[in-house]
Structure 1
Amino acid sequence: MEIGRLYRSVRNRFREAGLETPDLDARLLVSAALDLPVSALLLQEHERSDEASVELANSHAEKRLAGMPVGRILGEREFYGRRFLLNAATLEPRPDTETLIDAVLARCDPKSAPVLCDIGTGTGAIAVTLLAELPLSRMVAVDLAPDALRCALLNAEQHHVTNRLLPVCADYTSALRPAAGNAEWAGFDWVVSNPPYIRTAVLQDLSREVVQHDPELALDGGEDGLEAYRIIVADAAHLLRKEGRIALEIGFDQAADLKNQLRHHGFGAIEIIRDLSGNDRVVLAQKL
């Protein structure tokens, strides 16, 4: 079958099924099955693809039509211009989280050497991206799931930042609390996190792509969606150096609650950053 015909066949099936981004999904899945760059689907559309590649492309299409996200099918997802491997213990990094990266980078001198901590690192998308963008920085990456930490380490290796990443298997900041009581502890420059913030009662209302393929541990924020923030903000007040900063991804309706929590724990200079859709997405604050 010709490459162009194969792509259009998959694309049309996706359109008929009412997928949200049928053309993009088809381009990504078909080009991956053919082991070609996406541009080749047009430039080489009259060339013939081998039978095994056609079979693989159709297998990818069937999985997508059954509700599996493209990233899960391919085992990787792009984030901030880099490819990140996924596994069953990790969320897919999403474009909205790039707002957090932009916010931190805008407040960091690229020649500085900050020490950061990423709570609930998952794939390591936030941690690895910040290490790559800040070549003198160092990062502690924390996650409760060992498989998530293994994935983060693979991504750190892939992007050549392993020597500046320290993985810690722990429940939020529990393993770091003893350090905060040490007189020699200088404190982190940044604590960053994209914690679980979905209310338990609405988890079942999420799309089937999320419900069936994202780990509940990384989604469930408790009864009010704020359980993780209460722990992280309270501990960050002790883990950060004076004038250190915290950056948290939030749900669209959680800004007011986070402001109150931050003020209660002695943070000031609070900022709310919106994403490209205009929703509140990141809260920033400074330890006073």
Structure 2
Amino acid sequence: MSDSNTTDFTNPSAFILLGIPGLEAAHMWISIPFCTMYAIAILGNFTILFIVKREPSLHGPMYYFLCMLAVSDLVMSTATIPKTLSIFWFNSREISFSACLTQMYVVHSLSGMESGILVAMAFDRYVAICHPLRHSAILTNSVVAKIGLAVVMRSGILALPYPFLARRWPYCRTNIIPHFYCQHISVVKLACADIRISSYYGLFDLLSVIGMDVFFIAVSYTQILRAIFHLPTKDARLKTFGTCISHLCAISALYVPDLFSFLMLRFGHNVPLYVLILITGVYHFVPPVLHPIIYGVRTKQIRGRLIQLFTHKET
């Protein structure tokens, strides 16, 4: 590294992303699964959007929320993976200060948005199973739009302090970020100031948003399970619970890597840096890949429409 990157300066015009420190020699090989996941995420989520748009029978609350999830997955992937691949392929490590803060904001706002969408989908499952006759009356298009707007506004507002606080700190030691994207804590650690406010806010945001969302999802599924256990036959119970499997898989795809990443970053002090960074990559890259696969395989209407599309192309 050149000395210019480590000399004293204030508020750099650009940062340098290292990619995955310690695995520079393997960047080209690591790019293969990253690129594959990005291609699957783009293709899968666009397919979901295309099918829902083209199929009138899918114009309902659950599929509107699914489209919101697909859009957030697309933006999340595009906000991080192309820059990561440019680092791996072309050694294009520089990112402007403003672009770095923008990427930080987008990642945090979309993370909160995806969690909020899963809560909305849990509410849809609760109404569909516990109040089936009133489902269309409760979840009207107007209500769905308001829920979607509330999810977007909540995540957008709660993510604002991240770049705002990061912009306030003086950066006078280095502009080298040991990561493949502008992760909040990796950026503010470069500041020559007391960054406890940023650190505490990040912890508060994570615990409050995820904690609140997990609580609402748990309450919804408690009521759902109670309703299912009151059904008269085993077949009816299994069939009703089967309508929740896709949503439960989507929840696991988002929260399990998130929890694992959080625990490793907070308590994995003896874990090599490249392992922590790869775990972060799993959290950001895997959900956008798994969500369209889960809903494509598990949702009968989407699976049927997919088969129909491919059958027509073959004939």
TM over 0.5: no
Query: What TM-score do you get using the length of structure 1 for normalisation?
Result: 0.26
Structure number with higher strand proportion:
1
Query: What TM-score do you get using the length of structure 2 for normalisation?
Result: 0.24
Structure number with higher helix proportion:
2
Larger relative contact order, structure 1 or 2 (CA cutoff 8 Å, min sep 6): 2
